[in-house]
Amino acid sequence: MRIIKTFFLRLYIDADLREQICGDLRVLPGKKTVPFKNNSELLNMLYRLVNEELKNIPATASPDEQDADLF
């Protein structure tokens, strides 16, 4: 089973500190943005959002989904 999640990612880069990336992330459908201050905060946020989504998926696939992987 595949899950598609849509995000808006805005990056802000300081011309003096090019290695430091910050910005915010918005998960659709919604209007709440979550800011991040570095790469590790962004990655942790993405992992957390994906894992929250996976908790809501049933452990076993339906028979139709199992057959769809054959093609």
23: left (phi over 0), alpha (psi -120 to 50) or beta: left
- pLDDT score at 62: 56
- pLDDT score at 31: 80
Query: Three-state DSSP class for 33?
Result: strand
Say if residue 71's pLDDT is above 80.
no
- pLDDT score at 64: 56
Query: In the β-sheet with 33-36, what is the strand arrangement from edge to edge?
Result: 7-13, 21-27, 33-36
Domain boundaries, the chain: 7-58
Q: What is the pLDDT of residues 1-53, one digit of tens each?
A: 677 788 899 998 888 887 888 999 998 888 888 999 988 999 999 888 888 76
pTM: 0.62
Is the CB of residue 35 less than 8 Å from the CB of residue 22?
A: yes
Say if residue 69's pLDDT is above 60.
no
